[in-house]
Structure 1
Amino acid sequence: MATLFLVIIYLAFISLGLPDSLLGAAWPVMRMDYGAPIETAGMLYMIIAGGTIVSSLASGTVLKRFGTGKVTFVSCVLTAGALFGFSIAPSLIWLFLCAIPLGLGAGAVDAGLNNYVATHYKAHHMSWLHCFWGVGATIGPMIMSFYISRGQSWRDGYTTIFIIQLALVVLLFCTLPLWKRVSPESRDERTDDGGDTDPEGANEQKARTNPLKIKGVKLTLTSFLLYCGVESTVGLWGGSFLVNTKQLTAATAAQWVSLYYAGITVGRLITGFVTFKVSNRVLIRAGQMIALAGTVLLVLPLPTSFSLVGFIMIGLGCAPIYPCLLHETPTRFGKEQSTGIMGYQMAVAYTGSTFLPPLLGWVIGYSTTGVLPYFVITYIVLMFIGSEQVNRLMKAH
């Protein structure tokens, strides 16, 4: 029963990943239908991520009142409805309206499931959980590319994703009783993966009133901000970069963006096994270096095929960073504080998704999509500096 419960959590993360990569893959074609400038995608992305920030901040109260199962179910209903709205939207105004429930549907369930797995399960489960997010994020552009390459409408892609999401909604509804029955059985499954589980024990009372006063929390939040800036910026603008800078067709660009998300997915599958032997901190550092190397390939004047390698490397590099940072939360700051801090982390992460891709979109409006790699390099370098500083603080304690 506990194994079935984990499978349901994994499937819920597929539903989170399905819509995330769809807009970036479809936008080069979508904007032509609406006669919209390229930077409009940044505004849509901002609304989606803004809704997620709001629901992330409210996640603690909502989850405590209704439970993770019901919140997950309702969130999937919201995203399914939003995807259907995208598929039939007659104008840009309707896209902006549908972006609101699409964002709201992601935040609370994201924070709830991440905190549950980080608190009760070992590191490999966290990596595999986000691997399933990558499955959803990979499927989205592949489906969109299938329709675009055959001359069909991008609306068919959104309709197909809606049908898949609807099937997950039905599954979650049928399995709602499992959340109450299985949840207590999994409470003790997480054991130490090395290090103290409560290095900040002396700060417990102070942390209950203000988690931001715990040493290392602010720097950790900065790492989440910059990581989501990297992941979402490449996902949203990667297709436009390949079309406008590398002169690829929209269908080919969508396929390459899909491979970027495939790199994240495969990387997290591998990371789940590597965590048995390698610590979270080492994996975070290695991921940052691989992502940086992949971005450099996009800058260098090399044949176009190297850009594909670069996209895959960025995906592989991103793979361990986010789940390992999440799983470190109770280890670094204590289990009692992890729920509150996880909400902060989700909100700040989606703040990065909200503002950093539109920032690049604004710059692209005045320059070219060729500036994409330089922004990504800057984010990765700053993230590396911040995360290494946190490691030094934790080592000192």
Structure 2
Amino acid sequence: MERHNAGASTSVMDAIEMRPVHTRQEALHISNKKAPSIGGHSLANSIRSSHSKTSYASDRNETLPSPTTASADEVELWNKPGINLYRTFATFWSFLIMGANDATYGAIIPYLEEYYKLSYIVVSLIFLSPFVGYVGAALLNNAIHMKFGQRGVAFMAPLCHLLAYVVICVHPPYPVLVVVFILAGFGNGLEDSAWNAWIGAMANANEVLGFLHAFYGLGATIAPLVATTMMTKGGLPWYTWYYIMVGAAVIELAVSVHAFWGASGKVYRDAHPRTSDQNGSRLSEAVLRMPAARVVWLCALFLLGYVGIEVALGGWIVVFMIRVRHGAAFASGMTATGFWLGITVGRVVLGFVTPRIGEKLAIAIYLPVALALQLIFWLVPQFYVSAVAVALQGFFLGPLFPAAVVACTKLLPKHLHVSGIGFAAAFGGSGGAIFPFAVGAIAQHAGVQVLQPIIVALLAVIWMLWMGLPRIGKKKD
């Protein structure tokens, strides 16, 4: 009788939970300590995986929905585990190059106009061409992570930079120049997607992302300063600056691949199990299925406008200060430096303020201040007032991108971080191509002073988009 009761008891326990969990873990040989104790491959996914080992269709579905909280030991730090310290600095270097890449456009526009004998609208194609690269990155980012992991991004993105800069160094015909900027845009889009998603999910994400984007701002500060000095004081051709960019890209490729070599596709898939009952692409789940789609599209459109403001101001301010404020070439170039320096300092300083008052409220305050400074820049026709106003505007615009990434990590489940944040970041990055080109196209007929009303309108629109986000609570992992 005791034996019968024991058998019955064991049968009940099996039916509830103990045997399926234990068997599933043994069958999958789970060694990752961060793996949830109640998750694993569904039977259907396990069967599909055995028939297609070379495909990333092994993306697994958890049997329970994503938990709303996570234990502290599941959240990575920028310096823990130890490899993260190396990887974090590798991403900082990548963002330094991204910032230098984007800010160089504005510094070389006057020289491209003269060298190639171009109009505003034609020279503006160098802003538009990276759009194609950013769109490609938005669509392929999740697939690259699933197949090759962060290792794939660490190899492909720096290689795109290196190839683009080598071609630019030989100052090819202008149509070729436009094409290679597509390649540089693809590299930027991949890194924007991958490293924002990775760091955005860490502890103290606002602060670390603030430093990450500060390095972007630092690169954007250095590039016009050095490039303008080389061209105006040194009398060197515009393409000489890209010799330096080639060297920086070589370092980026070597350091990034070495740092992320262990972050393969399998490592990524194991660390980001699917925690929903959806099938198919994670990108489709992020952008087409509610409630995630609402968050992703609002953030994507917000970043589209924000990056458009950032690059349009940084890209056209030199021309504006020369043609409208009648400044000297070198002083006008320094105005762009002041704008990017303001962004850099703002990202570091306000990166510590934003998490203390909350991302939603912080950005709701920063944007109206930036709008007021933009109106001063526009309506007070004095060179030095404009230079100071645009630098302060950069300070308050600086934390917007990092805060949007952190908001996404809090509003989306962990398995959608790379697909959702990656899409939003890459899609948003294309704003740095669309709006600067639009400014140039309109300026062809109305003059470069159209920069100001366009920026004012964009600031108002992205404020409304930000206020449309859901209430931001704790992170969902």
TM-score interval, normalised by the smaller of the two chains:
0.7 to 0.9
Q: Please give the secondary structure, in 1, of the residue aligned with 2:91.
A: helix
Hey, what does 1:35 align to over in structure 2? 117
**One-letter amino acid matched to 1:67:** G
Hey, what does 1:293 align to over in structure 2? 372
Of residues 97-106 and 18-27 in structure 1, the stretch that sits farther from structure 2 once superposed is 97-106
Hey, what does 2:85 align to over in structure 1? 3
Match of 2:193 among 104, 111, 116: 111
Shift of 1:288: 1.0
Hey, what does 2:152 align to over in structure 1? 70
User: In structure 1, how many angstroms separate the alpha carbons of the residues matched to 2:207 and 2:472?
Assistant: 25
- Contact 1:130/1:323 (CA < 8 Å) preserved in 2? yes
Shift of 1:167: 2.5
TM-score, normalised via structure 1 length:
0.87
Asked if 1:322 is matched to 2:401, the reply is yes
Is the alpha carbon distance of 1:109 and 1:96 closer, same or farther for their aligned partners in structure 2, counting shifts above 3 Å? same
Shift of 1:216: 4.3
Give 1:311-350 correspondences, 5 Å limit. 311-350=390-429
Shift of 1:113: 1.0
Match of 2:247 among 163, 182, 187: 163
5+ unaligned residues in a row in structure 1: which ranges? 189-200
Shift of 1:53: 1.6
User: In structure 1, how many angstroms separate the alpha carbons of the residues matched to 2:118 and 2:189?
Assistant: 28
Is the alpha carbon distance of 1:105 and 1:211 closer, same or farther for their aligned partners in structure 2, counting shifts above 3 Å? closer
User: In structure 2, how many angstroms separate the alpha carbons of the residues matched to 1:112 and 1:90?
Assistant: 31
User: In structure 1, how many angstroms separate the alpha carbons of the residues matched to 2:345 and 2:327?
Assistant: 25
User: In structure 2, how many angstroms separate the alpha carbons of the residues matched to 1:337 and 1:70?
Assistant: 19
User: In structure 2, how many angstroms separate the alpha carbons of the residues matched to 1:121 and 1:63?
Assistant: 22
User: In structure 2, how many angstroms separate the alpha carbons of the residues matched to 1:394 and 1:179?
Assistant: 30
Shift of 1:370: 0.9
- Contact 2:221/2:341 (CA < 8 Å) preserved in 1? yes
Is the alpha carbon distance of 1:275 and 1:4 closer, same or farther for their aligned partners in structure 2, counting shifts above 3 Å? farther
Hey, what does 2:431 align to over in structure 1? 352
Asked if 1:227 is matched to 2:306, the reply is yes
**One-letter amino acid matched to 1:105:** G
Asked if 1:153 is matched to 2:237, the reply is yes
Of residues 286-295 and 265-274 in structure 1, the stretch that sits farther from structure 2 once superposed is 286-295
- Contact 1:57/1:343 (CA < 8 Å) preserved in 2? no
- Residues 172-201 of structure 1, C-alpha deviation per residue, up to 9 Å, x if partnerless? 344344646xx89xx89xxxxxxxxxxxx9
Asked if 1:132 is matched to 2:215, the reply is yes
Percent identity of the aligned residues? 20
Shift of 1:73: 2.9
**One-letter amino acid matched to 1:100:** I
- Contact 2:103/2:220 (CA < 8 Å) preserved in 1? yes
- Contact 2:360/2:472 (CA < 8 Å) preserved in 1? no
Normalized per residue, which structure has more helix? 1
Q: Which has the larger radius of gyration?
A: 2
Shift of 1:210: 5.6
Of residues 376-385 and 240-249 in structure 1, the stretch that sits farther from structure 2 once superposed is 240-249
**One-letter amino acid matched to 1:133:** Y
User: In structure 2, how many angstroms separate the alpha carbons of the residues matched to 1:86 and 1:249?
Assistant: 27
Q: Please give the secondary structure, in 1, of the residue aligned with 2:151.
A: helix
Of residues 100-109 and 267-276 in structure 1, the stretch that sits farther from structure 2 once superposed is 267-276
Asked if 1:364 is matched to 2:443, the reply is yes
- Residues 128-181 of structure 1, C-alpha deviation per residue, up to 9 Å, x if partnerless? 11111111111111111120221222222222222222222233344344646x
User: In structure 2, how many angstroms separate the alpha carbons of the residues matched to 1:356 and 1:330?
Assistant: 27
User: In structure 2, how many angstroms separate the alpha carbons of the residues matched to 1:394 and 1:162?
Assistant: 43
5+ unaligned residues in a row in structure 2: which ranges? 1-81
Shift of 1:77: 1.9
Hey, what does 1:268 align to over in structure 2? 347
User: In structure 1, how many angstroms separate the alpha carbons of the residues matched to 2:216 and 2:158?
Assistant: 14
Shift of 1:346: 2.3
Shift of 1:46: 0.9
Q: Please give the secondary structure, in 1, of the residue aligned with 2:357.
A: coil
**One-letter amino acid matched to 2:129:** I
Hey, what does 2:25 align to over in structure 1? none
Shift of 1:57: 1.4
User: In structure 2, how many angstroms separate the alpha carbons of the residues matched to 1:178 and 1:209?
Assistant: 28
Shift of 1:394: 8.1
Give 1:199-218 correspondences, 5 Å limit. 209=285, 211-212=287-288, 213-214=290-291, 215-218=294-297
- Contact 1:75/1:109 (CA < 8 Å) preserved in 2? yes
Of residues 206-215 and 42-51 in structure 1, the stretch that sits farther from structure 2 once superposed is 206-215
Pairs aligned (count): 378
Q: Please give the secondary structure, in 2, of the residue aligned with 1:90.
A: coil
User: In structure 2, how many angstroms separate the alpha carbons of the residues matched to 1:287 and 1:54?
Assistant: 31
Asked if 1:87 is matched to 2:169, the reply is yes
- Contact 1:140/1:161 (CA < 8 Å) preserved in 2? no
User: In structure 1, how many angstroms separate the alpha carbons of the residues matched to 2:195 and 2:472?
Assistant: 28
TM-score, normalised via structure 2 length:
0.73
User: In structure 2, how many angstroms separate the alpha carbons of the residues matched to 1:276 and 1:389?
Assistant: 19
**One-letter amino acid matched to 1:375:** I
- Residues 321-342 of structure 1, C-alpha deviation per residue, up to 9 Å, x if partnerless? 1110011102123323333221
**One-letter amino acid matched to 1:255:** M
Q: Please give the secondary structure, in 2, of the residue aligned with 1:124.
A: helix
The one of the two structures with greater contact order (alpha-carbon pairs below 8 A, sep at least 6) is 1
User: In structure 2, how many angstroms separate the alpha carbons of the residues matched to 1:217 and 1:169?
Assistant: 30
- Residues 181-227 of structure 1, C-alpha deviation per residue, up to 9 Å, x if partnerless? xx89xx89xxxxxxxxxxxx9x9759974644324443333212211
Hey, what does 2:142 align to over in structure 1? 60
User: In structure 2, how many angstroms separate the alpha carbons of the residues matched to 1:158 and 1:244?
Assistant: 26
Hey, what does 2:225 align to over in structure 1? 142
Is the alpha carbon distance of 1:50 and 1:168 closer, same or farther for their aligned partners in structure 2, counting shifts above 3 Å? same
